[in-house]
Structure 1
Amino acid sequence: MKDIHLYTASTMNGWKPVIFLEEAGVDYDLTHIDFASRQQKSPEYIAINPNGRIPTIIDKSNNNFVVFESGAILWYLAKKYQKFIPQNNDKESEVLQWLMFQMGGIGPMMGQAMFFQRIAPKQGEHNSYAIDRYVSESRRLLEVLNTRLEGRSYLVNDEFTIADMATYPWARAYHWAKVDVSGLENLKAWFKRIDQRKATQRALTIPEPFEAFFGRGDSEQQAKQEKANADRF
């Protein structure tokens, strides 16, 4: 029996635990939550995740312990497997700080930038103030990352950690959020570094790839993906 059962979908938050599990070489079971049929709002799913969002894990080796919220899942897995987290207490705290920076800043701001530019207009709403606010704040947060990455390979201790795993899918989706990254050379180098990690790139195809998030794929695929994304953020 595999220890971890993951419930997820192909979103920036949904890929975070997949990246960990693939990078760590942990065998796991996966249930693909189908947004089109609103499986994330089903009574069965709400029973394990009261917020009705993805991802969620069940640790069968720990009395079927349930963890929801993507950052909490990464922290749980890192502690369980003692991987992708420093053993030094101060460095561990730094990882937690940058993990929270993603959860409280990068994710929410870029998610709103995506929503107000890509989803709201399809529902007859165009709010220039909201777009300017969220795109500008997303750019500011990416500048913070760029400064942090000056002279560093990764966010903490020059080693790939759960802070990078959490931040990469969101920051790398700057194209989808329509956020300009010109001049952010440290950030771009970090993208390239993680773009070359085979396990992370494999994770971004599970349960299915959405290449347009990252500025890849053709226009037909992008249009199809925009139509499918109303419940993703």
Structure 2
Amino acid sequence: MSVKTTRRRVALASGVSAVSSGSSAGGASGGTLTISVSGDLLDLDTANCVPLVFCSVAYDSLIHVSPATGELQPGLATSWEWVDKEHRTFRLTFRQGAKFGDGTPLDGQAAAASLNSYLQAPGPFASLSYPLQKAAAAGPDKVDVQSAEPVSTHHALYLLAGQSGVGHVVDPKSCINLASLTALGREDAIALHIEVALRNGLTTDDIREVLLHTTPDAGVPLARGAVLVAEEALERLATEVGE
């Protein structure tokens, strides 16, 4: 694969998934970040992102790490506190005006869905988030993250800074995974991510629309292949539900 193709694909992935707001710790907002690499982007699932650097630029994280000092700083979360004295339930409040790439506001339910999707996923990276256990919405602009054992504030913030992937906030409907896998020609993984998308709230019509909109960037052959795989997967899942 040429470097040019890789650059196009990364630009596609970051453009449809990033959470954004009117301001950013990294400077001016807007525009497209292009990254050139010599190999394929294998997966944009935050729990199995390969290489991890792509998810770091495709998604914003709850907590930022200063590239200059290494200090932990507010990201999508601007404030935090412990709900209990045992330091097992950590509450984060979001930055005002944060939205997903499609304009949907970031809220407690979306953040909880993103965190739980990572924490419940199989794969080597999910274990790096221990002792984080599960998340739940604590209001329109808040999320509670529960831990299996007491942790320090610094360690909780570090885990949510995106170093392992758990802190990266992703559209809970999983549109980014379907779009990126289509652009990469990863038909082997599309069926699995369709099951995830349905579990996260996408309808069959939503899935078909996502795949249709990848055609201009991914090209007709890749988009058509993804649609065929999707239709087979949807038919199989419908049959299993009927049983």
User: TM-score when scaled to structure 2?
Assistant: 0.31
Looking at secondary structure, tell me which structure has more helix per residue. 1
| Structure ranking higher on relative contact order (CA contacts 8 Å, 6+ apart) | 1
Looking at secondary structure, tell me which structure has more strand per residue. 2
Q: Considering only CA atoms, is the larger Rg found in Structure 1 or Structure 2? A: 2
